[in-house]
Homo-oligomer: A and B are copies of this chain.
């Protein structure tokens, strides 16, 4: 870095002090330019900071702090991949320029938020709130308020869907809402009530067709076909845990970290040491896989061959890898205390993993399971790569 600064100073002297003036401009410019496709951010939850990373060189490019309470924070990316929109637990919405590491927009949009989404066209950012509930929508450009959709109680499982729609669930009243922003300057909301008790999170399938919400208040999931909302939500995997005694739930699993591989979905079971295997199309249970602990995230390698799973406290020092063909656990890793999050690079050759209590982020070669590198970070949690910009529902 020092060499870089010296070079820049040398260029500055050439560019600014030599009468011919701009001779070095192109070179100066060339050094600062870079692509955004291999960038990402990692949340340091305790210190309210994010680290900007580069997955090609497996390095940290910059650290940005002052982002408020980032426990349970998540992020989406602008369609050009340059900006991250970071949703803080305290309701703060921050727009971060990954190329300059500058906060270029920030609004304290609510008292307590749980996540957000970016519209298909990249123009709108939606945030789901716990306190005071509701969804607020902003322009991605200047974070100007666009719409305020009040609800009675907590909003969870907010995702984007094709046609500039946002879909979300109401935890307290058991509803699913579709907010349609396809018409400029106006929006409409479609409500589905009595969908089941306490939806706690949701996913949308990769093509944006099926919205699936998990229920905390009863055994089962709810499926809404967004191609046919007129058919309404229907229950799937009903009573998947019925008749068995539920374990205490140490940490709510995440469905946003759901996994699909081929025709199968892999979903963490609430409170059970199990991964549920769901067949797409028939939406029937295809099997269950016994696990080391209560699963939190189950993420599929983009190559569809393996699903990596982390676990709730106190068994969160372990990661298991399930083989999609055999439906068996084929590897058990012990990366260290408190593995909180995992993210694959978009073509699946690397997996990045936050090991919070070891203050470390590890990078694995997913083929050899070799640890390619390790970055020191302060209580790392969520890992969000800029390639999410190009995916529906992420």
* A interface, CB within 8 angstroms of B: 1-5, 8-9, 12-13, 15-17, 20-22, 25-26, 28-30, 32-39, 55-56, 61-62, 77-83, 98-102, 120-122, 162-164, 182, 207-209, 227, 261-263, 280-281, 302-305, 325, 345-349, 367, 386-387, 389-392
Contacts and interface: CB of A to CB of B under 8 A. Distances in A.
A347 B35 contact: no
Contacts of A5: 4-5, 8
27 contacts: A1-B61, A2-B100, A2-B101, A8-B9, A12-B12, A13-B17, A15-B22, A16-B16, A16-B17, A21-B22, A28-B29, A32-B33, A33-B33, A35-B80, A35-B82, A37-B77, A37-B389, A162-B305, A162-B348, A162-B349, A163-B367, A207-B303, A209-B305, A263-B263, A263-B281, A347-B391, A348-B392
A345 B26 CA distance: 31
Classify the secondary structure of A's interface with B. loop
A49 B2 CA distance: 17
B304 A209 contact: yes
Contact of A12 (B9, B28, B30, B349): B9
Contacts of A98: 35
Nearest to A8: B5
A346 B78 CA distance: 13
Contact of A348 (B34, B77, B120): B120
Nearest to A36: B35
A394 to B, nearest CB: 10
A303 B5 CA distance: 40
A25 B37 contact: no
Nearest to A29: B32
A13 B391 CA distance: 43
A4 B102 CA distance: 12
B1 A101 contact: yes
A303 B61 CA distance: 34
Given A207-B304, A305-B227, A12 B16 contact: yes
A210 to B, nearest CB: 10
